[in-house]
Chains A and B, each alone.
Chain A
């Protein structure tokens, strides 16, 4: 697909929501070992609701994708008021900020969204790369997308493929990282060799986007 139009953006995030509903149990099980055990619930509840939150804001946003994402992201935070919920909603809001005034998404705009999303997670989570979090999947994804978008005519497919590959590598790299946050930090030895569940969730977010872009 060449570009994603304003009215198609909720469908893009519907693909993310569908993937998280499918991965709900898997994420909860991973999280139960090293976290609160509710990661799958947060991700599926938040992203499954996001498309309708966007549609509810569509009229007020008047064709501005950025505005729609910012407003919908704020509403999403009320639905999933937890650490991961706030990280996701801030990501969506900051990603939206980067798209302010745009009425359609091309490859470069997708890269801008991912860059904003990553910046939002870093800001809200006060985290850096290498601390074994979702950021370790999202940051490389956004960087790879940005590098691909150095070519202004880059396609959506090329950008999302680059992001997806980098996110997957990012997840693998978390196996050797020492946790800094949450319950995982208390039981650091248990996390050795295991991929961070937050990073896996970050990868699924990118995978959900790619499912829409590559399959429709």
Chain B
């Protein structure tokens, strides 16, 4: 394991201290707990949106906390859930009189955390609703069982814009649901990552191999085999995506080409070019293309392709400006 750390045990806390030191004007933590990450200011009457999940995916999850996006994030250990009490403490801090939306990935531990936090908030009469991202097509045939991966970007974007525009809790939830219903992702890995406290890779891939459909914690995918070209990967991924969520030939989509951590931005643009050409050949318009790191798996190499099928409402949410320490859009 080659990592710039002090000790595996202090990985999360040392990282958080660094973030607060660099961005103290935009974010703070609640209740003396570094893992209760909140935006520094508060807009009275706005629906508060809270996410949470394991460390190891930056800018997911805490990087989405800021203007036009979300308000708080429970930070778990590497690939571990935050605790219900942490989410509850964040809710008490960021709640601004209009209720709380929990928006996070579809993982058992996280679901339990947020459900328990909802019970705790009930005792204080803080109204909470929940929605999970479950966009990873290859993780399961049943859409309710799928894992949440990079496509949650579009849910943050939609819910965040709606909340900032003054939408009530039902409206913010509906915006997130709209984005969820129209977003699908396919991902693939080329090399594994190492959880600091484990110290060795979480799976093995041969030098010339890739894993199609692998999850962002190294969950097994649909096949492991010889590395394909960018064009071939784009073709297979788009086939999977568009079979699961058809887009009309004159339809428009937003495209998110996301790097998993160790893949160069150059490669991401090569992939983006292939996906773009293939979409065009199918007659599908691209309203916006986003390329970069939005949901990583530490130093895993690989990428994911997310497609968000758009209508006018979703286009409005995508155009809405955001500003966080990690993500900025004017």
Contact of A90 among B82, B108, B109, B116 (CB under 8 A): B116
User: B120: CB under 8 A from chain A?
Assistant: yes
Q: Is B84 an interface residue (CB 8 A)?
A: yes
A124 at interface, CB cutoff 8 A? yes
> In the complex where A74-B85, A74-B120, A75-B85 touch, is A81 in contact with B115 (Cβ < 8 A)?
no
The majority secondary structure among interface residues of chain A is helix
Instruction: State how many angstroms separate the Cβ of A158 from the closest Cβ of chain B.
Output: 32
Nearest CB to that of A124 among chain B residues?
B112
Distance between A125 CB and nearest chain B CB, rounded to angstroms: 8
A74-103: which have CB < 8 Å to B? 74-75, 77-78, 81-83, 86-87, 89-90, 93
Given contact pairs A74-B84, A74-B85, A75-B85, A81 touches B109 in the complex (Cβ within 8 A): yes
Please give the distance in Å from B149's CB to the nearest CB on chain A.
19
Does the CB pair B113–A81 fall under 8 Å? yes
* Chain A interface residue bracket vs B: 10 to 19
Q: Which of A81, A87, A93, A181 contacts B76 (CB 8 A)?
A: A81
A-B contact count (CB 8 A): 43
Which chain B residues border A74 with CB–CB below 8 Å?
A: 84-85, 116, 120
- A83 lies within 8 A of B120 (CB): no
Cα distance, A145 to B110, chains bound together (Å): 32
Residues of A within 8 A of B85 (CB): 74-75, 77-78
Q: How far is the CA of A82 from the CA of B110 in the complex (A)?
A: 9
Chain B residues closer than 8 Å to A87, beta-carbon distance: 112
Counting chain B residues whose Cβ lies within 8 A of the other chain, the interface size class is 10 to 19
Q: Which of A59-77 contact B (CB under 8 A)?
A: 74-75, 77
When C-beta atoms are compared, the residue in chain B nearest to A94 turns out to be B119
Distance of A83 Cα from B84 Cα, bound (Å): 12
Known A86-B116, A90-B116: A77·B84 in contact at CB below 8 Å: yes
Known: A86-B116, A90-B116, A124-B115. A78 touches B109 (CB 8 A): no
Residues in B162-183 with C-beta less than 8 Å from chain A? none
| B83 CB–A CB distance under 8 Å | yes
Known A-B contacts A93-B119, A124-B115; A83 and B83 likewise in contact (beta carbons under 8 Å):
no
Chain A residues within an 8 Å CB radius of B109 = 81-83, 86
- Chain A 173-203 interface 0/1 with B at a Cβ cutoff of 8 Å (1 = within): 0000000011000000000000000000000
A93 to B120, CA, bound (A): 10
CA distance A124 to B115 in the complex (A): 8
Residues of B within 8 A of A89 (CB): 116
Determine the distance from Cα of A65 to Cα of B120 in the docked complex, in whole angstroms: 18
Q: How far is B80's CA from A28's CA once the two chains are assembled, in angstroms?
A: 19
Residue in A77, A90, A182 whose beta carbon sits within 8 Å of that of B83 in the complex: A77
B81 at the interface (CB under 8 A from A): yes
Residues in B neighbouring A182, C-beta threshold 8 A: 108
B86: CB under 8 A from chain A? yes
Set of chain B residues within 8 Å of A82, measured between Cβ atoms? 80-81, 109
Partner of A77, one of B76, B108, B116: B116
Residue picked from A83, A87, A182, most chain B C-beta under 10 Å = A83
On chain A, the residues within 8 Å of B120 by CB distance are: 74
Report yes or no: A83 in contact with B115, Cβ–Cβ below 8 A.
no
- The minimal Cβ–Cβ distance linking A98 to chain B, given in whole angstroms, is 15
A105-141 CB contact bits vs B (8 Å, 1 = yes)?
Answer: 0000000000000000000100000000000000000
Q: Closest CB of chain B to A23's CB: distance in Å?
A: 23
Give every chain B residue within 8 A of A78 (Cβ-Cβ). Answer: 83-86
Instruction: Pull 21 A–B residue pairs with CB atoms less than 8 Å apart, ordered by A.
Output: A74-B85, A74-B116, A74-B120, A75-B85, A77-B85, A77-B116, A78-B84, A81-B81, A81-B82, A81-B83, A81-B109, A82-B80, A83-B108, A83-B112, A86-B84, A86-B113, A86-B116, A90-B116, A93-B119, A124-B115, A181-B108
- The residues of A with any CB-CB pair to B shorter than 8 Å are 74-75, 77-78, 81-83, 86-87, 89-90, 93, 124, 181-182
Q: Which residues of B contact A (CB under 8 A)?
A: 76, 80-86, 108-109, 112-113, 115-116, 119-120
Q: A78-B84, A81-B82, A82-B81 are in contact. List 20 more A-B contacts (CB 8 A).
A: A74-B84, A74-B116, A77-B83, A77-B85, A78-B85, A81-B76, A81-B109, A81-B113, A82-B80, A83-B108, A83-B109, A86-B84, A86-B112, A86-B113, A86-B116, A90-B116, A90-B119, A93-B119, A124-B116, A182-B108
